[in-house]
Amino acid sequence: MTPHVTVRLRSGAVRGRQLDGHLSFRGIPYAAPPVGELRWRPPAPVDPWPGVREATEPGTPAPQLAQSFADVTSVDEDCLTLDVTVPRAPGTGRPVLVWLHGGGGTNGSAATRDPRRLAVSGNVIVVTPNFRLGVLGCFGYPGLADGGTYGLLDQQTALRWVQREIARFGGDPENVTLAGESYGALMIAAHLVSPTSAGLFHRAILQSAFAVMGSTPSHTFIPGVPALPPRWSSADELAQLGAATAAEHGWITPGSDPESALAQLRRVPVKDLLEASGAFIRPSFGGPTLPESPEQALRAGRFHRMPLMLGTTRDEARFFVGLFADLVGNPVTAESYPRLLAEAFGDAAAEVAACYSLDQYPTPSLAWAQICTDRAWARPSWELGRTLAAYTGTWFYEFADRDAPPIMPLPGFPTGAVHASELLYQFDFPGGPSLSPAQRELADGMNRYWAAFAASGVPAAADLPAWPEVSTGHVQSLAPERIGGTDYMAEHRLDFWARLP
């Protein structure tokens, strides 16, 4: 029988499990269920509970529909819970790492990955919250207060929970690192500029943050997808989108005043709302939570100054080209390549074609994936890193194991160091692929870098290569038996891309 351990919180006692080398507490409520009249409102305080609450099973994922990249469906709005993973060895004042999952803004949950290796090897406490997604996290409507920021507000509430409660688990509330990947990293960019996030965390790690700064040309996120605007929308723009969407889907009675329309919207079944979830993944600015666009605020240095880490994977876009083009029977071909270039880059298409000529790559799909990686991921990430480095200590990495086992296999498509492939080195995924001994060694090194950063604000660990700040031009390449500097600008042809819009 697995031994149990009880921790008393302000809201009540929770009983977790003592496992191999760590303690696990799962499904702890950090706010009231955002249901009924609490839909599209800031998180409300959780009601205290009597006795001891079992904290041995994960909480319900935020409402979401299954996707080709995420086979999870949920329509339960009672989702504001978090997990806490603690090294089993006695200790107090440990660094805390709060992890925000990815999933494109519509999918994901805390339960998909096990952070025990990071917690135990790094001697850190890892907190993984669920938060509202898609149409429930970023919806806006005329007269709806805080529209577009409910997921952000959930995360702030989880961070306040950490401030109140983490010392009871042996953590230091004055040493909190906010880390996340993909959509989670995008949200961290918002926290860096949100005045209501001030003081809730002290360092940040942004892994594969997509398009924090600037727009994305047609087809360079997913082949077939038009040009994407910046990842931030104004509150007015979002309210107009919400009104148009509600009318189109028949969620409101035509001619309803804003108050009655919102009452109707709060009664729409979750499964119906989720049909429009993909349109509501951009946090909005112009309100008290996010007064201005993070892109503008970061460029101007108007953000919470703290040590920062960020980076990308070597072959980010192969995930999107492989999954949404090749695996659906619509690979990029020699015939379609010029059309994609023309639609993405206009008058500069010939210049891009010369720089990325098809004879350099095994297939046209891999050529297009390289363009997408360089233009949609490497360029904006490098620009973000250099922007941040002008104001605070910043470290940049590239996960570069091109033999990394993908979390989601893409049969017949060479994935390389694909988007999210580094997560398998940081976390355990139930039923996921295994790592070779050399990859395990890299994983251990990465976790020690991340833990050192969480502890001290510098990714410096004994017996690991030095990692200079990005202000020196240094990018730390992370690959088995090849940790050290790399020429990121040359690798991703950033001088070439700097001359193009």
Output the domain CATH number for residue 153: 3.40.50.1820
- Give the model's pLDDT for residue 350: 98
- Give the model's pLDDT for residue 138: 98
Instruction: Kindly state the average pLDDT of the residues 108-113.
Output: 93
Per DSSP, the three-state class of 126 is: strand
- Cα separation of 497 and 380, whole Å? 10
**Residue span of the structural domain in which 105 resides:** 4-49+59-498
**Local confidence band at 249 (pLDDT 50, 70, 90 cut-offs):** very high
- Give the model's pLDDT for residue 68: 82
Closest listed residue to residue 372, CA positions, set 269, 222, 207: 222
- Give the model's pLDDT for residue 69: 84
Annotated catalytic, 419?
yes
- Give the model's pLDDT for residue 442: 98
Q: What percent of the chain has pLDDT over 70?
A: 100
CB environment 363-396: b (16+ within 10 A), e (fewer): bbbbbbbbbbbbbbbbbbbbbbbebbbeebbbbb
Report pLDDT digits (tens) over 374-421.
999 999 999 999 999 999 999 999 999 999 998 888 999 999 999 999
Residue length of the chain: 501
Catalytic residue among 182, 194, 284, 381: 182
Q: Is 86 left (phi over 0), alpha (psi -120 to 50) or beta?
A: beta
Q: What percent of the chain has pLDDT over 90?
A: 95
Annotated catalytic, 234?
no
Annotated catalytic, 357?
no
Q: Which two tokens stand for residue 25?
A: 């507490």
Can you say whether the dihedral through the CA atoms of 341, 345, 349, 353 is positive or negative? negative
Side-chain half-sphere of 142: how many Cα atoms within 13 Å?
13
Phi, psi dihedral angles at 123 (to 5 degrees): 55, 45
- Within a domain: residue 41? yes
- Within a domain: residue 302? yes
- Cα separation of 238 and 244, whole Å? 10
Instruction: Kindly state the average pLDDT of the residues 359-363.
Output: 98
Q: Which two tokens stand for residue 107?
A: 């999918």
- Cα separation of 77 and 426, whole Å? 29
- Within a domain: residue 449? yes
Other residues' Cβ atoms within 10 Å of the Cβ of residue 432: 17
Rounded to 10 deg, the angle between the 183-193 and 150-165 helix axes is 80
Side chain identity, residue 380: P
Residue 444 has pLDDT above 60, yes or no: yes
Instruction: Kindly state the average pLDDT of the residues 14-19.
Output: 97
Q: Which two tokens stand for residue 236?
A: 């007015």
- Give the model's pLDDT for residue 71: 86
Per DSSP, the three-state class of 95 is: strand
Catalytic residue among 191, 219, 419, 492: 419
Report pLDDT digits (tens) over 471-498.
999 999 999 999 999 999 999 999 999 9
Other residues' Cβ atoms within 10 Å of the Cβ of residue 212: 25
- Cα separation of 332 and 353, whole Å? 14
Phi, psi dihedral angles at 140 (to 5 degrees): -135, 155
Can you say whether the dihedral through the CA atoms of 235, 240, 245, 250 is positive or negative? positive
Please name the residue that has the structure tokens 């996120």: 221
Residue 20 has pLDDT above 70, yes or no: yes
- For residue 87, the cross-strand partners are 22
Phi, psi dihedral angles at 300 (to 5 degrees): -85, 0
E strands within 337-414? 394-399
The two beta strands, 81-87 and 233-234, are unpaired
Closest listed residue to residue 369, CA positions, set 395, 392, 394, 402: 402
- Give the model's pLDDT for residue 1: 57
Q: Which of 210-214, 287-291, 347-351 has the lowest mean pLDDT?
A: 210-214
Calculate the alpha carbon distances from 184 to 91, 188, 246, 413 in Å.
Answer: 29, 6, 27, 26
- Say which residues have a Cβ less than 8 Å from residue 480's Cβ, sequence separation at least 6: 401, 403, 436, 438, 439, 441, 442
Residue 2 has pLDDT above 80, yes or no: no
Calculate the alpha carbon distances from 471 to 173, 355, 399 in Å.
Answer: 29, 28, 19
pTM of the prediction? 0.98
Catalytic residue among 316, 398, 422, 469: 316
The contacts found for 172-176 with CB under 8 angstroms, 24 or more apart, are 172/93, 172/94, 172/95, 172/96, 173/96, 174/202, 175/93, 175/95, 175/96, 175/202, 175/454, 175/455, 176/95, 176/96, 176/97, 176/98, 176/200, 176/201, 176/202, 176/203
- Within a domain: residue 380? yes
Report pLDDT digits (tens) over 132-186.
999 999 999 999 999 999 999 999 999 999 999 999 999 999 999 999 999 999 9
- Within a domain: residue 54? no
- Within a domain: residue 140? yes
- For residue 428, the cross-strand partners are 114
The two beta strands, 52-54 and 94-100, are unpaired
Q: Which helix (H) or strand (E) holds 16?
A: strand 12-19
E strands within 320-409? 394-399
Other residues' Cβ atoms within 10 Å of the Cβ of residue 76: 13
Cβ–Cβ < 8 Å for 234, 208: no
Q: Which of 47-56, 69-78, 125-134 has the lowest mean pLDDT?
A: 69-78
Other residues' Cβ atoms within 10 Å of the Cβ of residue 335: 8
Cβ–Cβ < 8 Å for 58, 83: yes
Average pLDDT, the chain: 97
- Give the model's pLDDT for residue 431: 85
Cβ–Cβ < 8 Å for 189, 206: yes
Can you say whether the dihedral through the CA atoms of 116, 81, 132, 94 is positive or negative? negative
Report pLDDT digits (tens) over 250-308.
999 999 999 999 999 999 999 999 999 999 999 999 999 999 999 999 999 999 999 99
| Total domain count, the chain | 1
Report pLDDT digits (tens) over 306-315.
999 999 999 9
